[in-house]
Amino acid sequence: MHTRHFAQLVGLSALWGASFLFIRIASPVVGPMVLAGCRVALAGLTLALIMRGLKQGWPWQHWRELFLLGALSVAAPFLLYAWAALRLPAGYSALLNTTAVLFGTLASAWFKEDTLSARKLLGCLCGFIGVGLIVRLGPVQPDTGTIAAALACVTAAACYGCSTPLMKRATTRMQPLAIAAGIHLAAMVLVFPGALWAWPQARFTPGALGALLVMGVVTSGLAYWAHLRIIRHVTPVAAMSPAFLIPVFGVTWGHLFLGEALSPGIFAGGALVLLATALVTGFNPLRRAPAQTPLP
């Protein structure tokens, strides 16, 4: 992987790790459906203004593909993580998000973008055991609500993972900015009815408004555009490599700013999940990278 792309993915990891902190702040105040609606609206507006400034056209001929990608990579994960944040600490959600790599590896093999191996299957097993440890041994009581929230996070991660190889294919037909704007516009259509229905119960405190603004403009709009620009040049599994660092940032931000507790379950389960992602992607920090041919 090119050094520039790696540095950009590290930056995205920090942003997306922080997004779990912002979700945890805003969701209990405004509600999951309003949070998702505001987030996609702000992201869509930001990207639409950039498209207008750059004089890029909308890819209306690909609207079916954009609706599928918008449902998988925006609408469903935003709603599921916002709902899970009512019951789970930010660090939990960030760790469970790492399973996106496992699902993405399986999806990439299904779509012939990658191949399965014994090492990758072992990684999948380690990942699911790690998720079980996080839920069972962490500081949150493993009751029915906690387990349901953890399943919501894993489902959201599965949506992210399955959509990544589809995103890679979409970049061969559309510009990254057009895809990012299009999927958020499609997600807006999907989540707005629920957001309007829940609007009267929402409370817009200064903290919640600030969290919504950062999530909508930065961690959704600009970050999705940046990620799609990187996907054009790397494999789908490599594009999911921010999952290595998202839990580190997510747990750190949650502990520092929300005082979320740490426990042996978090570390043991998190270590297994990170080992799983290393196995399925072939990541080895001790292996020397081959020489890279400069991109045209």
Domain residue extents for the chain:
3-281
In the prediction, which pLDDT does 244 show? 61
In the prediction, which pLDDT does 176 show? 94
CA–CA distance, 255 with 249 (Å, rounded to integer): 10
In the prediction, which pLDDT does 292 show? 39
DSSP strand E in 11-87: where?
none
Closest CA to 159 of 64, 85, 79, 227: 79
- With the CA atoms of 94, 219, 164 and 72 taken in that order, what torsion angle do they form, in degrees rounded to the nearest 10? 90
From residue 110, how far is each of 68, 104, 106, 233 by CA, in Å? 17, 10, 6, 21
In the prediction, which pLDDT does 294 show? 40
In the prediction, which pLDDT does 104 show? 83
In the prediction, which pLDDT does 44 show? 96
| Spans of the chain below 70 pLDDT | 1-7, 113-114, 135-140, 237-245, 247-248, 250, 252, 262-263, 277, 280-296
Q: Residue 275 is encoded by which pair of tokens? A: 């080992």
Q: Residue 131 is encoded by which pair of tokens? A: 């998720």
In the prediction, which pLDDT does 58 show? 92
CA–CA distance, 86 with 217 (Å, rounded to integer): 23
Closest CA to 165 of 121, 115, 113: 113
The answer for residues whose C-beta is within 8 angstroms of residue 269's C-beta and 6 or more apart is: 95, 130, 131, 132, 133, 134, 135, 137, 138
In the prediction, which pLDDT does 283 show? 58
CA–CA distance, 3 with 129 (Å, rounded to integer): 32
In the prediction, which pLDDT does 293 show? 38
In the prediction, which pLDDT does 232 show? 82
Q: Residue 295 is encoded by which pair of tokens? A: 């991109």
Q: Please provide residue 234's backbone torsions phi and psi, each rounded to the nearest 5 degrees.
A: -130, 170
Q: How many CB atoms lie within 10 A of CB 243?
A: 26
In the prediction, which pLDDT does 281 show? 62
In the prediction, which pLDDT does 287 show? 55
Secondary structure (DSSP) of 54-109: HTPPP-GGGHHHHHHHHIIIIIHHHHHHHHHTTTS-HHHHHHHHTTHHHHHHHHHH
CA–CA distance, 150 with 143 (Å, rounded to integer): 11
CA–CA distance, 223 with 94 (Å, rounded to integer): 17
In the prediction, which pLDDT does 93 show? 84
Q: Which residue has the tokens 């292996």?
A: 287
CA–CA distance, 197 with 217 (Å, rounded to integer): 24
From residue 259, how far is each of 251, 262, 269 by CA, in Å? 10, 9, 20
